[in-house]
A and B are shown apart, each in its own frame.
Chain A
Amino acid sequence: MNYLYFPGCSLKGTGRAYEDSILSVFKGLQLPLEELDDWNCCGATSYMAISEMKAFALSARNLALAQKQAHSRENCGLVTPCAACYLVLIKTQKYLEEFPQIGDKIKAALKAANLDYGGKVRVRHPLDVLANDFGPEKLASFVKKPLKGLKVACYYGCQIVRPYAEFDDQHNPTTMNRIMHALGAQTIDWALKTRCCGGSLTGTIQEVGMRLSYILLREASRLGADVVATACPLCQFNLECYQKQMSREFEDAISIPVVYFSQLVGYAMGLPEKELGMKRLFVPFEFTPVAEPAKGGVHVGI
């Protein structure tokens, strides 16, 4: 299957490290991603608060463009790493199918722009592609530097598992954990893995947003995680960039690396750190593999 790639605004901005790592990991796995030409904003949360119809229209344009760019391929996979983009694109598809009054209006709007969408695009999250299409076994065969001894807190956040995603369990998602195991890492049993990080509230009502992120980090450190792995640019930003302010605000020194799951995949594959955007992190990710315990001879009693 060939995949198109929809970056959305974050992967070109604060989530640059996500884009760097996704592109190089997919290339390394021989699944090169082709960027969707002239994509526009997905119409995520903030836009939907003003006009839902226009948000659907924006997403529909992206879907129509994807269908066109996919040429003759029967089912086009549109890889969407940002959780908000992922949710809105899937929501649009569902609403176009389920509610004819919306479908008709959007179809007419697309026609006015000389576009057409026939419903042939499949919106995919990179976690979905890696865990379900590619598979952990095959991924493990690409691992050159196993993450032996690394304890990872897999953080899924909300919008990739709720309410529309079908690739994982809404209550207890495991795709990222399976990927981490394939890399040789350990994962911690973490009840907060789908709890809200505060979303855009850290930028608006900072006290509130920061507290939600802080609760997540505190719990991850308490459980002994070495690193938090995320799959959403906003989650990564919230959890990572405010750690200094959190330490001040909550009088509790907090410092834990927060990386994209794709950065860990690339790291384990032995890809150069520059291609994974490791330099773009606030809290550097450092890892020394745990040496295998020496297998000594068997003690034989005389």
Chain B
Amino acid sequence: MPVWRGWDKIKYQAQLDPAFAEEVASIPGGEKLFDCIQCGTCSGLCPLSPYMDFTPRKIIAMIRAGFKGEVLSSHTCWLCASCYACTVECPKGVKITEIMYATKRLAIREGVSPKRFAIPVLAEEFFKDVESNGRNSEGRLIMKLYLRTNLLKALKQTSLGLRLWSQGRIGIKADRIKRKGELQALLKSLEKEHMVRSPRDTSHAGEGK
């Protein structure tokens, strides 16, 4: 697996990945990616863009130019809270939020999502919980998240957790569905369709192109 940390401001054509834009644009309706006029409406609207390493406008430009490593290992897509403000206002109908999702999935598949960064960890834990129980249990999810990322923060949040617990708003019991077999049959059948692409992660087998 290539290491993509750090990025070069200047890249030679041979260092770029021309297939990357196509890969991202293969999501339903993703072809609009090529209509982007770089107006910056998305970045201007995005409440998270001040915290991103590359703003949404820049990420689109980088995807189209083929800066695969820089895009996938950046924090940008993980900071997207999917409020869809960019998507609704884009004058060219680019599905920016969906593109952010596509880069999240690619980053996890390629194993280059920022390490010990809480957001992809949350996504992974959430996915695992739902896969096995059919439902997500908020209390357990938060606990696992802190265990994997930041124990100190877990301690700092104890009083909040206790207060929620006393109000009956959080628990540690796992919530499960009754007909787990039915759900597993459903999810399994999507895995069969495509062979697993990356040995590191088997959860993307259903991702069609």
Contact = CB atoms under 8 A, between A and B. Distances in A.
B204 A162 contact: no
Contacts of B67: none
A105 B208 contact: yes
A199 interface: yes
Contacts of B48: 196, 201, 208, 212
A53 B47 contact: no
Contact of A208 (B27, B51, B122, B206): B51
Contacts of A201: 48, 79, 81, 119
A290 B120 CA distance: 49
A61 B183 contact: yes
Interface in A96-143: 98-99, 101-102, 105, 108-110, 112-115
A57 B187 contact: yes
Nearest to A106: B190
A201 B130 CA distance: 20
Contact of B127 (A46, A200, A204, A212): A46
Interface stretch (B4-12, B13-21, B35-43, B134-142): B134-142
A109 B184 CA distance: 10
A41 B183 CA distance: 11
A9 B81 contact: no
Contacts of B137: 9, 13
Given A50-B123, A279-B167, A41 B135 contact: yes
Residue picked from B87, B134, B189, most chain A C-beta under 10 Å:
B189
* Dominant secondary structure of chain B at its interface with chain A: helix
Given A16-B169, A199-B82, A241-B164, A113 B189 contact: yes
Contacts of B208: 53, 101-102, 105
B134 A41 contact: yes
For chain B, which range describes its interface: under 10, 10 to 19, 20 to 34, or 35 or more residues?
35 or more
A32 B207 CA distance: 39
Interface in A178-232: 194-196, 198-201, 203-206, 208-209, 212
B23 to A, nearest CB: 14
A39 interface: yes
Residue picked from B28, B48, B169, B204, most chain A C-beta under 10 Å:
B169
A9 B136 contact: yes
A241 B153 CA distance: 16
A14 interface: yes
Nearest to A171: B88
Contacts of B138: 9-10, 13-14
A158 interface: yes
Contacts of B206: 51, 53-54, 57
A163 B87 CA distance: 7
B170 to A, nearest CB: 6
Nearest to B193: A105
Contact of A12 (B29, B153, B175): B175
24 contacts: A9-B136, A12-B175, A13-B170, A17-B169, A41-B134, A41-B136, A50-B108, A50-B124, A52-B101, A52-B207, A57-B187, A105-B190, A112-B188, A158-B84, A162-B88, A163-B84, A170-B88, A194-B85, A196-B83, A199-B83, A204-B119, A205-B79, A208-B48, A280-B167
Given A50-B124, A242-B160, 19 more contacts: A14-B164, A38-B178, A41-B135, A46-B123, A47-B126, A48-B101, A51-B204, A52-B101, A53-B206, A99-B29, A101-B28, A109-B189, A112-B188, A162-B84, A196-B83, A199-B81, A200-B119, A204-B118, A212-B47
Interface of A: 9-10, 12-17, 38-41, 43, 45-54, 57-58, 61, 95, 98-99, 101-102, 105, 108-110, 112-115, 158-159, 162-163, 170, 194-196, 198-201, 203-206, 208-209, 212, 241-242, 279-280, 282
